[in-house]
Amino acid sequence: DWKMQDVLEEEVKVIKGMVGPEDHVICALSGGVDSAVAATLVHKAIGDRLHCVFVDNGLLRYKERERVMETFERDLHLPVTCIDATEQFLNKLKGVIDPEAKRKIIGREFICIFDDFARDLEHKLGKKPVFLVQGTLYPDVIESCPPPGSGRTHSHTIKSHHNVGGLPKDMKLKLMEPLKLLFKDEVRELGRILNVPGAFLKRHPFPGPGLAVRVLGDVTEGNALDILRQVDEIFIQSIKEAGLYDLIWQAFAVFLPIRSVGVQGDQRTHSHVVALRAVTSQDGMTADWYYFKHEFLDDVARKICNSVRGVNRVVQDITSKPPSTIEWE
Ligand code: XMP
């Protein structure tokens, strides 16, 4: 693809021009395609002066930390520091119900951790890192704050994507967003040119605030996160086994903070309800809900109720975007 080859060369030039010859750069890897491609791109431009960090915020999917670290090291040859900040994030989120408040808290915690990481690195290198790389895409920019003349009709914030808005004014690092003008399919193409493994590029998008926007209400309540991880894993594995993964833009489960009555093994239960969401989309700006075969849904719902303790009801989200958004919060 000539266009993306040009974009690649241009971006490498821009990054080399931005970063002084002695400067160091930090990149926060989320485990998603965007930050991995952004990191690989910056690594191509400045090599070992890029320092990657992956934060386990306690809001990751089933076995996500292990899976992602393995990909970075084995496939992408990117040296990555892994920080376990589970306690720190969950303590701050305790009792928080408002979706925007959750997003802001998570955004702030990430920045605190990156600042600490930068300080540690400064001690090690004897020099301050200068930039923080983020894998922000064009749709993130326009949804959080539509640029003038972008032709978007809304001028208010729909959701404050944590990697765009809410950065504190006193943040010591400058932002570098090399994918800011690209759409998702273009980022995947750029990744292909950069030799990022195909399986990685095909991963469904995952939001920065993670499972916090998929556990409605207080994420620390009971074992909501744990239940959600198990349900989500069954759903995604079933989709993969049915050969549907690549046909779907994004699929995931949502934990609802309500209980419903059921009957399991002759016992009355009063347990949790989970929702399944799957959509097709070009760029995440609009989306259509995905039509599964009834047999597939029947099989997934059965597997979930049979193997996840605390769930006795499975529902499917059959709304498109608009009027809904893809995530529930
Ligand atoms: P919504 O829910 O706004 O999501 O329709 C559109 C796409 O963006 C993802 N998303 C996010 N990505 N940080 C991200 O990096 C965020 O805060 C965030 N919120 C939503 C969402 O998963 C979907 O692919």
Nearest to 47 by CA among 30, 72, 22: 22
3-state SS, residue 105: helix
Task: Clarify whether residues 24 and 168 are in a common domain.
Answer: yes
The residue contributing the CA closest to ligand 1 atom 4 is 326
Tokens for 8, please give them: 């690649």
Check if the beta carbon of residue 153 is closer than 8 Å to that of residue 75.
no
Cα of 153 vs centre of ligand 1, distance in Å, is 19
Q: How confident is the model at residue 56 (pLDDT cuts 50, 70, 90)?
A: very high
Positive or negative, the Cα torsion across 134, 200, 57, 66? negative
For residue 159, give the ligand 1 atom closest to its CA: 3
The answer to whether residue 103 is domain-embedded is yes
In this predicted structure, the answer to whether residue 154 has a pLDDT above a threshold of 50 is no
The answer to whether residue 163 is domain-embedded is yes
Give every CB contact of residue 162 below 8 A, 6+ residues apart in sequence.
103, 104, 106, 107, 110, 208, 209
Nearest to 45 by CA among 77, 12, 23, 80: 12
Question: What is the CB-side half-sphere exposure of residue 53 using CA atoms within 13 A?
Answer: 24
In this predicted structure, the answer to whether residue 157 has a pLDDT above a threshold of 60 is no
In this predicted structure, the answer to whether residue 184 has a pLDDT above a threshold of 80 is yes
Nearest to 57 by CA among 108, 99, 109, 100: 109
- ipTM over 0.85 threshold: yes
Nearest to 181 by CA among 148, 136, 150: 136
Query: CB within 6 Å of ligand 1 — which residues?
Result: 103, 159, 161-163, 205, 207-209, 250, 284, 321, 325-327
Q: What angle do CA 240, 246, 251 make, to 5 degrees?
A: 70
The annotated binding site for ATP is made up of: 30-36
Cα of 323 vs centre of ligand 1, distance in Å, is 15
Q: How confident is the model at residue 111 (pLDDT cuts 50, 70, 90)?
A: confident
The residue contributing the CA closest to ligand 1 atom 22 is 207
Nearest to 104 by CA among 156, 60, 166: 166
DSSP-derived letter for residue 147 is: P
Say what the pLDDT of residue 151 is.
Answer: 44
In this predicted structure, the answer to whether residue 318 has a pLDDT above a threshold of 90 is yes
Domain around 7: 2-201
The residue contributing the CA closest to ligand 1 atom 3 is 325
Express each pLDDT in 269-302 by its tens digit: 999 999 999 999 998 999 999 999 999 999 999 9
DSSP-derived letter for residue 47 is: G
Using CA atoms, how far apart are residues 328 and 225, in angstroms rounded to an integer?
Answer: 15
In this predicted structure, the answer to whether residue 215 has a pLDDT above a threshold of 60 is yes
What average pLDDT score do residues 162-184 get? 74
Give every CB contact of residue 14 below 8 A, 6+ residues apart in sequence.
178
Check if the beta carbon of residue 79 is closer than 8 Å to that of residue 52.
yes
Using CA atoms, how far apart are residues 53 and 5, in angstroms rounded to an integer?
Answer: 27
Of 201, 227, 251, the domain-final residue: 201
Question: What are the b/e assignments for 82-94, b being 16+ CB within 10 Å?
Answer: ebebbebbbebbe
Tokens for 191, please give them: 């990744």
Using CA atoms, how far apart are residues 19 and 10, in angstroms rounded to an integer?
Answer: 14
Using CA atoms, how far apart are residues 147 and 144, in angstroms rounded to an integer?
Answer: 9
Of 201, 234, 269, the domain-final residue: 201
Task: Clarify whether residues 262 and 171 are in a common domain.
Answer: no
The answer to whether residue 325 is domain-embedded is no
Mean pLDDT of the chain: 91
Cα of 145 vs centre of ligand 1, distance in Å, is 14
Task: Clarify whether residues 90 and 226 are in a common domain.
Answer: no
Task: Clarify whether residues 257 and 193 are in a common domain.
Answer: no
Task: Clarify whether residues 103 and 241 are in a common domain.
Answer: no
Task: Clarify whether residues 171 and 263 are in a common domain.
Answer: no
